[in-house]
Amino acid sequence: MRLPALSRWSARDRPKLAVMPTALITGAGRGIGSAIAAALAPTHTLLLAGRPSPGLDAVSRRLGATALRLDLADAAATQAVAATVSELDVLVHNAGVSRPGRVAETDINDWRVTFDVNVFGAVALTLALLPALRRAHGHVVFINSGSGRRVSPGMACYSASKFALRAFADALRDDEPALRVTTVYPGRTATDMQRELVAYEGGEYEPGKFLRPETVAAVVAGVLKTPPDGDIHEVVVRPAV
């Protein structure tokens, strides 16, 4: 995959391009991902990754960021994107998919699709970017879910994928002591995914009952501001209503 107008990012180049640290955010075209991008824009040079969409292009233009066309289920695309990044300060794993359903309502394809993006995609991108993260002594943030701490009814494969993602984050923290690794567990958040879940549950979608994406983004921005003598492993945030 060829990425037009994207040069190799390195510490050597930063004086020419920006003095700010670089952050790569997946699933940045909407919802929590776009809110995190907006929250980090004043302090970071942004690489916004996601499947090609008008939303991703719009967020990138608005924030003056570089859009990276990336399907996390495509291993070749993941390697191509990682090859353009030689040093990376922050990696935010936000992209995810959800296929609501109790165990008996799912089929094996639901599980494969969910794990391909939520787990294998995150693992593949992390492995590909590990050299760049090591050079910067970087910070990896995983946007998990309350379903990654307690299984949610009707969310069988999604919950299982989030438990797996939690385990990967813990393993990464243990195995890469030069990196900081944080898992954020938001409660139910007002996003398109939440709208689909409420429809599956047969309820009426009322955004005011859920966390705002901007609230989750503020938590992420706060984590990244942690002084060097601190290391935040986990953050749990829930709606106040």
3-state SS string for 4-61: CCCCCECCCCHHHHCCCCEEEEECCCCHHHHHHHHHHCCCCEEEEEECCCHHHHHHHH
Opening angle at CA 52, ends 48 and 55, nearest 5: 70
Q: For a pLDDT cut of 90, what percent of the chain falls above it?
A: 74
User: Is 185 in the active site?
Assistant: no
Band of residue 209 on the pLDDT scale cut at 50, 70, 90: confident
In a domain, 12, yes or no: no
In a domain, 3, yes or no: no
The pLDDT, as a whole number, for residue 156 is 94
Mean pLDDT value across residues 234-240: 93
* 76-83 contacts, C-beta under 8 A, 24 or more apart: 76/1, 77/1, 78/121, 78/124, 78/125, 78/128, 79/128, 80/1, 80/2, 80/3, 81/1, 81/3, 81/49, 81/125, 81/128, 82/125, 82/128, 82/129, 82/132, 83/128
More confident call, 51 vs 222: 222
Mean pLDDT value across residues 81-90: 94
d(CA 69, CA 50): 5
Beta bridge partners of 181: 140
Residue 4 has pLDDT above 90, yes or no: no
In a domain, 92, yes or no: yes
**pTM of the prediction?**
0.88
Range of the domain at 69: 19-237
Mean pLDDT for all residues in the chain: 89
The pLDDT, as a whole number, for residue 5 is 42
Choosing from 158, 185, 200, 205, the catalytic residue is 158
Band of residue 15 on the pLDDT scale cut at 50, 70, 90: very low
Beta bridge partners of 30: none
56-85 residue pLDDT tens: 999 999 999 999 999 999 999 999 999 999
In a domain, 185, yes or no: yes
In a domain, 194, yes or no: yes
In a domain, 13, yes or no: no
d(CA 82, CA 93): 14
d(CA 136, CA 92): 15
Band of residue 6 on the pLDDT scale cut at 50, 70, 90: very low
d(CA 187, CA 168): 20
Count: domains in the chain: 1
d(CA 14, CA 6): 14
124-157 residue pLDDT tens: 999 999 999 999 999 999 999 999 999 988 899 9
In a domain, 14, yes or no: no
In a domain, 126, yes or no: yes
The token pair that represents 184 in the structure block: 């954020």
With CA atoms as reference, report the closest residue to 205 among 191, 186, 224.
Answer: 191
Q: Cα-atom radius of gyration of the chain, to the nearest Å?
A: 17
Task: Residue 144: give its domain's CATH number.
Answer: 3.40.50.720
The token pair that represents 33 in the structure block: 């991902």
